[in-house]
Structure 1
Amino acid sequence: MAEADQKKSYRFVSGFARGLSVIEAFGPTARQLTVADVAVRTGLDRAVARRLLLTLQELGFVTVDRRKYELTPRILHLGYSYLATVGLDGATQPFLDRLSREIGDTVSLSVLSGDRVVFIARSDAFAGHAEAGRISYTITPGMTVAAYASASGRMLLSALPPADAQAILARSDLTRLTPHTETDPARLAALIAEARAQGYALNEQETELDLLGASVLVRSRSGRPVAALNTSSYLGRIDRQRMVADVIPKLQACAEQLTGILL
């Protein structure tokens, strides 16, 4: 159902949708927001934004200090409910830790949310290596990246019907994150199809210079695509050939083990 039609449906609760939009207004660059900030970021009237913030405050999802609101840890309950229903809670951590030690790099789990990939778990149990400092960002749970530009995103898009993946690409802002980022829709569709056919996706310097990423699909016991299992490494330590020959099989083996614990 189209968004415009959905909003006209008697089943659509606009007040609930507005409350969710207020929660989504917060983020890494918007940790504290005033009523006016929320109104601007959501497009809501200031009076409506204020009532919604006060409601969230009473429910314990936000707190306020000097007219600036911020989310509380209670908001994690919402995300944990999703993770628990599919088995992507703490039960996956020992598998990620074991894989991280085996390949000597950070590993992560991610899921698709619209045109973004959300990281939900990570491990750097390998305890670091000499080149780790060359990578300028650290993956943390809740962090997002553009699906079109990442190995994990292309892997997750490959699990969708091609028409659905194409629709997500069509509404994505295909911006170059580095000089190597692929932004041509036809070429991106081909890369997604390639990931679907070969069972893994690679990404070389498209989200970060000097970074080579790899991703495989994780399925539930019923065969439903649930998440992507990912790793990335500094190009001085690994190349595409070794990633495919040595690391991808270990990712796939871990993904199969995770299938055994997922609902």
Structure 2
Amino acid sequence: MNASDTASTFVKGLRVLDSFETGRTDLTMAEIARLTEFDRSTVRRLCLALEEAGYLTRQNQTFRLTPKIVAVAGGYLTSHAIGMSIQPVLNQFAEELRGELAVSVMEGTRAVYIARSAVASARMSLGFSIGSALPLLPTAVGRMLLAGYPAPQREDIIQACRLYRYTDATDMDLASIRAKVEAAAQHGYVLSTSEFEQGASGIAVPIRNIGETQAVLSTTASVDHFRKEEEVDRVLDILRRTAMSLRA
């Protein structure tokens, strides 16, 4: 196998690992083939190689990730001092908020959680954890990330995203979504209501770059919780003070 073939196989192996994104745990070879659009023989070869390398484990006809994948992710978190510099700040302000705070960065056409608060006082949690991936277009965190890019680059990312109706309230009009992203860029925050999870609202504000990647801070609450303007203002104040502390 020459260098080009080796590189191609490596990239395909990463595509297989990408199949196990948020919400997908046990996958059959047929499911992985559908998600990656590889033929069954290629998927079989890649899965067996990843199993031998310790990144996948097999039970009957399904594969799942092993803890070894966490060690790889841990290198990213450690290199950016997530545990030492970001986690304590999130926990401190989450107590004041009485809610959950999360830091996300963009990866392709998704927003990925790289840190989240760990306090018992959170009134609502959607169950996402570090590594969870959210779509960009219908979420507050995604739109805030898009708002951080210059218009031409932002448009390229929007065009690459897949429109999908997650709820009855999901905005399916690209012109409307572009306007909301532009408003986020102008006002410095996003409020999204029931577009990704029915009955849930998200608010996001920009933080700063994490390494070479821009990051945003967000929280989630019930739709009713954000109906009052004074509560939105209170939450925005806490988010902005948290973001300022993270920039320090």
TM-score (norm. length: structure 1):
0.82
3-state SS of paired residue (1:17): helix
Distance 2:213 2:48 in 1: 38
Question: 2:220 is matched with which residue: 203, 224, 232?
Answer: 232
Runs of 4+ aligned structure 1 residues displaced above 6 Å come to none
Which residue pairs with 1:256 in the alignment?
A: 244
Distance 1:83 1:162 in 2: 30
Residue pair 1:221, 1:259 contacting (<8 A) in 2 also: no
Which residue pairs with 1:61 in the alignment?
A: 55
Which residue pairs with 2:14 in the alignment?
A: 20
Residue ranges of structure 2 left out of the alignment (5+ in a row): none
Which residue pairs with 2:101 in the alignment?
A: 107
2:230 partner amino acid: R
C-alpha RMSD of matched pairs (Å) = 2.6
Which residue pairs with 2:43 in the alignment?
A: 49
Q: How does 1:207-226 map to 2 (within 5 A)?
A: 207-220=196-209, 226=214
Distance 2:184 2:45 in 1: 46
Distance 2:148 2:5 in 1: 29
2:247 partner amino acid: T
Distance 2:215 2:83 in 1: 12
Shift in Å, 1:28: 4.7
Q: Is the aligned partner of 1:241 residue 2:229?
A: yes
TM-score (norm. length: structure 2):
0.86
Shift in Å, 1:101: 0.7
Residue pair 1:25, 1:41 contacting (<8 A) in 2 also: yes
Structure 1, 34-43 or 195-204: larger mean CA deviation: 34-43
Shift in Å, 1:232: 1.5
Question: 2:136 is matched with which residue: 132, 135, 147?
Answer: 147
1:166 partner amino acid: E
Which residue pairs with 2:64 in the alignment?
A: 70
Which residue pairs with 1:123 in the alignment?
A: 117
Residue ranges of structure 1 left out of the alignment (5+ in a row): 1-9
Distance 2:213 2:33 in 1: 37
Which residue pairs with 1:183 in the alignment?
A: 172
Residue pair 1:154, 1:195 contacting (<8 A) in 2 also: yes
Which residue pairs with 1:170 in the alignment?
A: 159
Distance 2:156 2:106 in 1: 14
